[in-house]
Amino acid sequence: MNLILLGPPGAGKGTQAVKIVEKYDVPHISTGDIFRKNIKEGTPLGKKAQEYMDRGELVPDSLVIEIATDRLTEDDCKDGFLLDGFPRTVEQAEALDKFLAENGKKVDWVLDIDVAKEELMTRLTGRRVCRNCGASYHVVNIPPKQEGVCDECGGELYQRADDTVETVENRIEVYNSQTKPLINYYEEIGNIAHLDGAAPLDEVFAEIVKVLGE
Ligand code: AMP
C-alpha cells in the first residue's frame, strides 16, 4: 500500500503514522525526520536544510524531491510506504507521481487530516519530542509520567526549534499557501480521504482503518 499523510503541522500525522506502520507494516518516511537527523549529524544536507527549517519555510523542491525519491528506491519500500510531510507542494506531488509511474506504481491513498488553526497553535507550542526515540508528548494534553523524560525509553524530551509561536504561525501560513492546493490535486485524481483531526486519536485511526480496510 502506497500512502501519503497530508495535513497542517500539528494535525497528528506523526502519531497516526506510528499506528499505521504497526498495523499495515509499511516503512514510515518523514522528510522532516530525515532533515533533523542530518542536522544532528552536521551533514552538508543538514546545513542546507536548517536555515529554511528554523524560519518555518519549505526546503527547496529540488532538494526534497531528490531525498524522498532516493529513499523510495530502498528495498523496504518495494511493497508499500507511508509518506509523512512529503509532498508539500504541487511540484513535489507531480515529481512523486512521475517517479512512481516510471516504477509501475501509484499513490493508493492520501489521508488528509485537518485541524483548526487555534488548536494547531496549542498543540505545536506545547509539543515535546523524545530526543532518542521520537515519541511525541504535550505539556498539557499528553504529559509524560515524569516531566522531561520519555515514558517509552527514558530519553530526554525537548522542544523542536521550529515549535515556537512565531515559527509555528509561519509554518501554518506556508501550509495554507503552498501545501493546501494539494487537496485539489488529489481530489482530481480521486484518491484522497478527509479525516477530522480534532477527534480523539483512536477515533481518527479507526476512520483511517475504514478507508484502508482491515
Ligand atoms: P515536519 O517535521 O514534517 O514538520 O518538517 C519540518 C520542516 O522540514 C518543515 O517545516 C520544512 O522546513 C522541512 N520539510 C520537511 N518536509 C518538507 C517537504 N516535503 N518540502 C519542503 N520542506 C520540508
Burial (0-12, 13-18, 19+ Cβ within 10 Å), 140: exposed
Residue 193 pLDDT exceeds 90: yes
Position 180 pLDDT exceeds 90: yes
Quote the CA–CA distance of 144 and 127 in Å, as a whole number.
11
Segment 81-132, tens digit of pLDDT: 999 999 999 999 999 999 999 999 999 999 999 999 999 999 999 999 999 9
pTM of the model: 0.91
Q: Is residue 16 included in any domain, yes or no?
A: yes
Among residues 19, 48, 117, 160, the one annotated as catalytic is: 160
Whether 80 is in a domain gets the answer yes
In which domain, by residue range, is 57 found? 2-116+164-212
14, part of any domain: yes
Angle between helices 181-189 and 90-102 (to 10 degrees): 30
Residue of 134 and 205 predicted with greater confidence? 205
CATH of residue 176's domain is 3.40.50.300
Record the cell numbers describing residue 78, joined without a space.
518495494
pLDDT of residue 118: 92
pLDDT computed for residue 155 by the predictor: 97
In a domain, 127, yes or no: no
Average pLDDT, the chain: 95
What confidence category does residue 56 fall into, taking pLDDT thresholds of 50, 70 and 90? Answer: confident
- The dihedral built from the CA positions of residue 146, 152, 156 and 159, taken in this order, carries a sign that is negative
Q: What percent of the chain has pLDDT over 90?
A: 90
Which residues line the pocket of ligand 1, CB cutoff 6 A?
Answer: 9, 30-32, 35, 52-53, 56-59, 64, 85-88, 92, 162, 171
Specify if 150 maps to a domain. no
* Cα–Cα nearest to 165, from 88, 57, 56, 51: 56
pLDDT reported for residue 37: 92
Q: Is the pLDDT of residue 214 over 90?
A: no
Give the total number of structural domains in the chain: 1
Asked if residue 83 is part of any domain, the answer here is: yes
Residue owning grid cell 533533523: 36
122's grid cell: 496549542
> In 3-state terms, what secondary structure has residue 181?
helix
Percent of the chain surpassing pLDDT 70:
100
User: In the 8-state DSSP scheme, what is residue 117?
Assistant: H
pLDDT in tens, 10-35: 999 988 999 999 999 999 999 999 99
Pairing, β 2-6 against β 127-130:
unpaired
Q: Establish if 20 belongs to a structural domain.
A: yes
pLDDT of residue 134: 85
For ligand 1, pick from 57, 88, 89 the residue to mutate: most ligand atoms within 8 Å of CB.
88
191: CB partners within 8 A, 6+ apart: 107, 108, 109, 110
pLDDT exceeds 90 at position 55: no
Q: Is residue 108 one of the residues assigned to a domain? A: yes
